[in-house]
Amino acid sequence: MKTKIKNAFSAKINAVGLPVVALCFVCFFWGTTWIASKEGVRHMPALQLAGIRQFIGGSLYVAFFLFKKASWPKGKQWKTILILSLLNFVLSNGLSTWGVKYISSGLGAIINAVFPLWIVIITFFRGEKLARLAILGLIVSFGGVCVIFYDHLSDLLQPDFRFGILLSLIATISWAFGSLYTKKKAATFNPYFSLGLQMLISSTVLLAVTGATGTGVNITSIPANSWWAIAYLVIIGSVLTFIAFIYMLQKLPPEINSIYAYVNPIIAVLLGAMIFGESLTLAIAIGGGVTLFGLYMVNHSMRKTRKMLQESKS
């Protein structure tokens, strides 16, 4: 009897607890990667940094699965891997890294927060029905993020930043399509082995572009600060957090797993205050409260929807 109860409890934790833990991990650590990316691109071309990061991260993934003698993708699976490589890494990661070369990390975080709204728009045009409260909650949360970073919104009026803004917007749209496509296709093959292959393919493209345009720098002239940033982005951003990201995509609905895009900017502000002594303003406090209220609206809507579905089935 005790064994059955223990097994049931463990199953419940795995079904509910682990996806939430994965979401929290993504919320926090991807928030820190904005700082690492900004530091890295100060001393080297952004696409080269993204290419090196993805090459090292992808090599680690592939080496692990080669050691485990995992089966290679077959046939149409390679088409999926190529599409995800383009969406998630060449366009999304490459362009977002390039974007923070020209704009502040705070403004980059705001633009990144648009990503869940693209999810809503894409799913709407695909004919899927979304609860009004969930949509309203997403909009309220984004409004809260804008309040938090209101000082950076003035950057939108500066022509020098517009190119970076355009790059970042394209990156968020690509990430939205990539996230939905990942959720749809991840179950057809090993998503983690695929992730490494995507990174390797993308790194080849990015480094080839850097080499062809002559914008890259000699690898021996890259300063230590950039190498430390790359190391952090590889271990935390490309390996550990991506494992948690794919796991939560498989276990949580899009409206819930997209929450990390709102929490990441808040994490960046708090870390800035603790590490660099940046002040916590009233706007941050108000914006944080508005964002959390929006997240509550999304969660409440999803719980209500699941409850209605369960009642209809019974």
- The pLDDT value given to residue 6: 46
* φ and ψ of 241, to 5 deg: -70, -35
Question: Structure pTM?
Answer: 0.78
68-103 per-position pLDDT tens digit:
888 888 888 888 889 999 999 999 999 999 998 888
Rg of the chain over Cα atoms, rounded to whole angstroms, equals 20
pLDDT at 98: 92
Are 50 and 93 in contact by the 8 Å Cβ rule? The answer is yes
Tokens of 23: 């979401």
Residue 146 has pLDDT above 70, yes or no: yes
**Beta carbons of 297 and 140 less than 8 angstroms apart:** yes
The one-letter amino acid at 284: I
What are 289-303's pLDDT values in tens digits? Answer: 888 788 777 767 766
Q: Where are the alpha helices (DSSP H) in the chain?
A: 2-12, 18-40, 46-67, 77-84, 94-99, 105-112, 115-125, 132-148, 150-153, 159-185, 191-213, 224-232, 241-251, 254-257, 260-276, 282-313
- Is it the case that residue 62 has pLDDT exceeding 70? yes
247 and 26 Cβ atoms separated by less than 8 Å: no
Mean pLDDT, residues 116-127? 76
Q: Where does 68-158 have alpha helices with state H?
A: 77-84, 94-99, 105-112, 115-125, 132-148, 150-153
What average pLDDT score do residues 117-131 get? 75
Q: What is the pLDDT of residues 240-257, one digit of tens each?
A: 998 898 888 788 876 677
